[in-house]
């Protein structure tokens, strides 16, 4: 305990290592820290108060919004707006980007893209969920409202990204381009404390994560890779272990710690994929590369894809580099085949 470092202390200590060092970025990360604590508190009350279940609305993707989706979205939006370091946000739960109209907000340098509550349908059954966020420097002139072009930047332009996982313990994991660091929430002192410094993907893992219930709809290359994972091969330590939670943050977090691959391919139902490039894939890909892993859509590096719309979907493959390379081999043998 004598060497305990809180998230706030760590941010201040490392702020001059940021590629875009500034007190504003440190303050922005602190606002995410605050909002995460509030969402953590509300999730821990789920089942005791009326915050579970559907909210009665659908988001722009046609998915039923959960009550906690709305609560988490409102919490992060308010925290980011009130610190005056953000000129606008784009959220999976908002139809359009939100430009903050405060005078100080309009002079701010940053925009934030966020999935406020990833895997929220799991709340009702007490399974881990998360928040995913991504930070960019704005492109539009300061002193004016944020514009769509501020949000439609490729992932290579991210200043920082991270996620919060609300599970058996609550953790905040983030990167500013100088490694990936994890902080575990200590409710006794009300702070996130450094618990996982410089997190790294094992080059080779032995876990694969995919919703095999959709197997019949997968591209042929993905089907071949799944069969490869299931084959007996003592030298290659196969068959691999299959683990799928249905919460991107939860599946990714496990594979980051233990080594593995997460697959969410295109299907006949979703030929362009289902996960959102801006709110899920880009921030997770940024963390992955900082931790020594790989993230692709099966053909391209995720971070190099130029977004065309706020809610754009892409296929997503992310994890240990050797596993991604093997997957690509199967995809290249069966291009475009189902």
Q: What is the pLDDT of residues 208-257, one digit of tens each?
A: 999 999 999 999 999 999 999 999 999 999 999 999 999 999 999 999 99
Name the pTM for this structure: 0.93
Q: Considering its fold, how many domains does the chain have in total? A: 2
Q: What pLDDT was estimated at residue 4?
A: 84
Q: Could you read off the pLDDT of 109-164 as tens digits, one per residue?
A: 999 999 999 987 787 787 899 999 999 999 999 999 999 999 999 999 999 999 99
Domain end position, chosen among 174, 196, 218:
196
184 and 231: one domain?
no
Percent of the chain with pLDDT over 70: 91
pLDDT tens digits along 27-51: 899 999 999 999 999 888 765 555 5
What DSSP state is assigned to residue 49? B
- Whether residues 168 and 216 share a domain: the answer is no
Q: Which of 134, 136, 159 is nearest to 18 (CA)?
A: 159
212 in the same domain as 164: no
Q: In whole angstroms, how far apart are CA 165 and each of 125, 146, 287? A: 16, 29, 14
* Spatial distance between the Cα atoms of 27 and 44, rounded to a whole number of angstroms: 26
Per-residue model confidence (pLDDT) at position 55 = 47
pLDDT at 152: 98
7 neighbors 191 (Cβ within 8 angstroms) = yes
For residue 49, being part of any structural domain is answered with yes
d(CA 335, CA 83): 48
Same domain, 179 and 221: no
Domain around 92: 7-196
Query: Could you tell me if residue 2 is inside a domain?
Result: no
Cβ–Cβ under 8 Å, residues 86 and 104: no
Q: What is the full DSSP assignment across 230-252?
A: HS-BTTTTBSPEE---S-HHHHH
34 exposure class (CB count in 10 Å sphere: 0-12, 13-18, 19+): middle
């Amino acid at each position: 305990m004598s060497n305990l470092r809180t998230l706030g202390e760590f941010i201040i200590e490392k702020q001059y290592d940021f590629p875009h060092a500034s007190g504003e970025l440190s303050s922005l990360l602190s606002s995410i820290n605050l909002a995460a604590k509030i969402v953590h508190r509300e999730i821990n009350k789920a089942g005791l108060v009326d915050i579970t279940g559907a909210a009665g609305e659908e988001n722009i993707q046609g998915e039923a919004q959960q009550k906690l989706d709305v609560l988490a979205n409102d919490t992060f939006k308010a925290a980011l707006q009130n610190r005056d370091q953000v000129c606008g946000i784009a959220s999976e739960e908002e139809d359009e980007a939100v430009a903050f109209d405060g005078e100080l907000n309009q002079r701010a340098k940053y925009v934030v893209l966020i999935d406020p509550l990833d895997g929220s349908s799991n709340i009702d059954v007490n399974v881990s969920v998360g928040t995913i966020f991504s930070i960019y420097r704005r492109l539009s002139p300061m002193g004016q409202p944020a514009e769509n072009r501020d949000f439609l930047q490729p992932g290579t332009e991210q200043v920082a990204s991270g996620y919060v996982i609300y599970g058996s313990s609550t953790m905040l994991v983030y990167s500013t381009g100088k490694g990936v660091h994890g902080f575990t929430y200590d409710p006794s002192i009300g702070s996130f404390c450094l618990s996982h410094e410089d997190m790294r993907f094992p080059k080779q893992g032995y876990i694969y994560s995919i919703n095999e219930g959709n197997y019949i709809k997968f591209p042929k290359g993905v089907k071949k890779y799944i069969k490869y994972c299931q084959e007996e091969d003592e030298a290659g330590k196969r068959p691999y272990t299959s683990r799928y939670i249905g919460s991107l943050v939860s599946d990714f977090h496990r594979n980051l710690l233990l080594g593995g691959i997460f697959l969410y391919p295109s299907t006949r139902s979703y030929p362009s994929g289902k996960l959102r490039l801006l709110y899920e894939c880009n921030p997770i890909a940024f963390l992955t590369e900082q931790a020594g892993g790989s993230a692709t859509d099966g053909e391209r590096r995720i971070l190099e894809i130029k977004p065309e719309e706020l809610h754009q979907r892409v296929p997503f493959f992310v994890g240990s580099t050797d596993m991604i390379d093997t997957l690509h081999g199967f995809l290249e043998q069966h291009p475009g085949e189902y």
